[in-house]
Amino acid sequence: TFIAAACVAMSLAYPPASAATLSDAVADLAPQDREKVIGAARAFLRGQPKANRSANDLGWDCQAAIALSELGEPGAKERLAGIADALNASREQSKTSGKAIGWAAAGDAKACVQARGGRNVPAACEGSTTIYAFQSGLAMACLARAGSLLDRPELIVTAKAAMDYWSRHRFAKEPCKECVYFATSDSAEDDERYIRNMNLFIAFGASEVGRATKDAALMMTAKQSVRSDIWERTNGNRGYLGKLDPLWTSRPGEAERIENHSASMALLLKVMGATLGDSSIDRQAETVWRDWATCDNKRCQTAGCKYWAGNAAQCQATATAAHCAFRLRDKLAKSQCETHLSLVPSLGSYGLWAILEARP
């Protein structure tokens, strides 16, 4: 069976580093691009977390700091510690047990609506009363890995407690055998919202918490969550919503609603493929990336860079950097990454993470 085979293949060890140093990690790039990346990395490491920075922004920062820590960059672990402390302090806790349950969306209504998958509900911004998959998945992954790298088990404890809470927010109705589908939030308003990227953010958290705690069952849960996304794509869905979402069938063209969320999905899947040692997840990463990278439907061609930023010659958006994670495997990705690096004025943490996650 899928589970039996996966259990045999699973390894709780961390994947080997693909590069010994930051310079090694960008050795394939042109000299001017290497200089830009290394300069951006050093500038990032000199920075400090800003007050009231959102959990999602801190989550991207954390992934860049983790990648740089693994490459042994001076100051990276100190930067990682500051980010992890900020995330740990911003967690929401159970009113009864006091344990971490996850992370809320940013405080403004627009961010809350976006975090709910674009569903504009009158009470869409519930502040700290609603815990979201996007922010929680990133934060759990951050604290779990940071706890291991920094030898700070209390960070892992926070991440594990939050994952225990999210384990209650799995849908009973699943798209396929041996699949798991996580909710978008813990709000009753989202009880039937199947949103592909939100499911994968919790899978990302589960994979890192499972690795940090050596919990094979939790890592299997992450695999089963990804298996849901593989089912979506195998059954013709390249869009934002899952096929079981009530809006999927009521809106024409949902299967082809490819947008910038797909770039982050591809990046998460690529990292999870390495973490979980699963080639099917790695293949899904490339499939989702290619769906996004080659999108030529009307929406991708007319809706602008905020919707689809896969053409690096036209768009230098945050999502465009996702090409760089696949540059060692694909000529199109390499070309788009090089164009992006030549045109983008500066690189943020998301871009750094994507560049440093490239593996053959």
**pLDDT tens-digit profile of 267-321?**
999 999 999 999 999 999 999 999 999 999 999 999 999 999 999 999 999 999 9
pLDDT at residue 110 in the model: 45
Cα 333 from Cα 300, distance rounded (Å): 18
pLDDT at residue 107 in the model: 57
Q: What's phi and psi for 238, nearest 5 deg?
A: -110, 5
CA atoms within 13 A on the CB side of 47: 19
pLDDT at residue 131 in the model: 95
pLDDT under 50: residue ranges of the chain: 1-17, 108-128
Q: Is 51 exposed, middle or buried (0-12, 13-18, 19+ CB in 10 A)?
A: exposed
pLDDT at residue 231 in the model: 97
Cα 172 from Cα 339, distance rounded (Å): 45
> Is residue 286 within 8 Å of residue 330, measured between CB atoms?
yes
**pLDDT tens-digit profile of 320-359?**
999 999 999 999 999 999 999 999 999 999 999 999 999 7
pLDDT at residue 215 in the model: 97
pLDDT at residue 352 in the model: 98
Instruction: For residue 18, give the nearest of 341, 344, 327 by alpha carbon.
Output: 327
DSSP secondary structure of 265-334: HHHHHHHHHHHHT-HHHHHHHHHHHHHHHT--SHHHHHS-TTT----TTT---TGGGGGGGGTTT-HHHH
Q: In sequence order, what are the residues at sequence separation of 6 or more whose Cβ sits closer than 8 angstroms to the Cβ of residue 118?
A: none
